[in-house]
A and B are shown apart, each in its own frame.
Chain A
């Protein structure tokens, strides 16, 4: 599952980072490395970009960039509202 498909309040563990060049390097530098836990915390009012929570901080990326991030979603559902679909 790619990260752009994940609902608000849900998350998982990163399997791999796709894309290339500057964007990919930036994502890796910001700590989006394989095996890292990541959660979608919020979606911007206009539906894009999205806000991630990882390594104890908040990072904003666009949906098209999130589509490069492959995650293994968590099994259990968190009790948070599904917004921003």
Chain B
């Protein structure tokens, strides 16, 4: 039977890098049942009969965040064959705190001591044998980013898993805590065994006053009282409370252990370098300008230089394939409706969307570069005070930033936020960050109407989105989301060059997502639109798309947009199809105007819009409800269809009001 290993470690300890080293591109991404925490698993390349599950990065098995709860439940209920605990050797004290809690579970376990190359390089050393002896589990030194020690690690975890070698010791305490834990262990042994919970784990969690454990064990009144008595006695003897006592017990053990086996003369080169880099990157006056410059460069490279060139090549390729297919279909003599479906529906729709794939891949390249290098944590540090003004924490900044790439991963990344309140508020505001799928719309419209100030108009849209988000944040803070923001306790990891493999895998994942979206949601949407615009209500093919079903639906809702300056049925129809995916706005205009691509579309748009109404249209497009994929993500993260629908209504309402304002104020000047 194949074995299952649980990969666990702190945040920023190289867990994802190790997971990628172990599994390569052979990964399956899903969700833990019932919650919205991502679950990745993959088959270990070096040992085909074993699966590794990547658990969320956590610091403790406390019962607060959904990540911690998921990890606990997975370990207690799924019974993995072994735990693979990854530890950052350059930050060993704090990392071992989780290790000690994991050992209490009495599951076979191997410790992967990561970043040993950095430790050795800086002239420090760690006595692996002594560390292993002190913890009672095998320790394998590795460098996940360089791929060193991975083979040895796999051999060791396979051996430990096969032989079911449980940790040699679970006892790390002394004196008062020791007495108390043993008394509690004795007290609850039967209960713990009855539900298959490791006794030692149950005892320490009860001592910490851990609610889920108290409930799971089904203690009777008598036992609860005895438990209270034991804890009070310990608290009195130590002169401290139970939680501090247990944390102190673990850290005291770690300090003693490290004193014998960790020889540290200096901070590592990476840590010293980080201090120097932070002197500039989090500097009192320079931090924010530098951040703005970095983001500007990222966006310029993505949308101006690399992404645009790649997109051009790709669309040239698509045009060539379209022309070849067109010629082929004509030669074979395929019937007119089918010919139209393939060329005008499928190729025009999916093709125009696909040409934006490079932009998205390039953007995610930079975003993961910033995230994995440790810079995003500095951004949260620098921006925290600003975001707190609208009732959020610096951590919400990262999802919002990703929102500029795509709302879907941005909304998914809100899972790292500890409180539901922050999460929901961030989810509501993130779609106001102009996602990259809206870029094709801006590109076509600015090319048509604002050739002179193309960049300025685009920037103004991005800024408008942010301003609207801030205003809505302030509104929420005083209405829907009153109350305290969550505590902001965050590690600033040392700056590191991210591994190329991790970035490539990340980009590949995003590209796959986007292509899948293009060939499913967008594919279906383009066919539906093609049917609606090629046929009338009697399902006869129409000569002119103005007689089609789509034109009728567009005309019905067009009056809603008349006060915003764009009452034409083609504009309202494009907005409707934009719900399938924002890129579809462009392809719909292309189909409705009877042209094959964005480049031919631009000159024709002046028949529908003036520069002012075009800008009003762009503002509406920027702010109105996101695409179906984002809607699905919002529904999942909010955990309620009604709340998700409410969010859509809210965003569309805001869009209408803003576009109305822009149009009418603009009229005063034009």
Q: Which residues of A contact B (CB under 8 A)?
A: 16-17, 22-31, 33-36, 42-49, 51, 55-62, 65, 83-84
Contact = CB atoms under 8 A, between A and B. Distances in A.
B223 interface: no
B490 A84 contact: no
Given A46-B384, A51-B282, 14 more contacts: A25-B60, A25-B62, A28-B243, A29-B247, A30-B489, A33-B251, A45-B288, A47-B385, A48-B384, A49-B394, A58-B492, A59-B489, A59-B490, A59-B491
B-side binding surface: helix, strand, loop or mixed?
helix
Interface string B479-520: 000000011111110000000000000000000000000000
Interface in B402-420: 418
A3 to B, nearest CB: 13
Interface in B319-350: none
Given A23-B487, A27-B489, A60-B491, A84 B394 contact: no
A28 B385 contact: no
A22 B209 CA distance: 12
A65 B60 contact: no
A29 B394 contact: no
Contacts of A16: 240, 244
B507 to A, nearest CB: 29
B287 A65 contact: no
B488 A62 contact: yes
Interface in B266-321: 267, 274, 278, 282-285, 287-288
B284 A84 contact: yes
A24 B243 contact: yes
Given A33-B251, A34-B244, A60 B487 contact: no
Contact of A57 (B94, B386, B418): B94
Interface in B54-110: 59-60, 62, 64, 90-94, 97
Interface centre among B285, B388, B490 (most CB of A within 10 A): B490
Given A29-B62, A59-B492, A44 B94 contact: no
Contact of A22 (B248, B278, B384, B487): B487
A60 B284 contact: no
A17 B488 contact: no
Interface of B: 59-60, 62, 64, 90-94, 97, 240, 243-244, 247-248, 251, 264, 267, 274, 278, 282-285, 287-288, 377, 380-382, 384-386, 388, 394, 418, 486-492
B120 to A, nearest CB: 16
19 contacts: A26-B60, A31-B251, A33-B251, A44-B282, A44-B382, A44-B385, A45-B282, A45-B283, A46-B385, A46-B386, A48-B384, A49-B394, A51-B282, A56-B94, A58-B491, A60-B380, A60-B489, A60-B490, A65-B488
B59 A30 contact: yes
A42 B487 contact: no
A23 B90 CA distance: 26
Contacts of A49: 381, 384-385, 394, 488
Contacts of B418: 22
Q: 10 shortest A-B CB distances, which residue pairs?
A: A28-B247, A29-B60, A46-B385, A23-B487, A58-B492, A55-B93, A57-B91, A45-B287, A22-B64, A60-B490
A32 B282 CA distance: 23
A26 B244 CA distance: 11
B525 to A, nearest CB: 44
A25 B64 contact: yes
Interface centre among B91, B394, B486, B489 (most CB of A within 10 A): B489
B487 A34 contact: no
A44 B388 CA distance: 13
B493 to A, nearest CB: 8
B385 A25 contact: no
A16 B245 CA distance: 11
A1 B247 CA distance: 22
A26 B251 contact: no
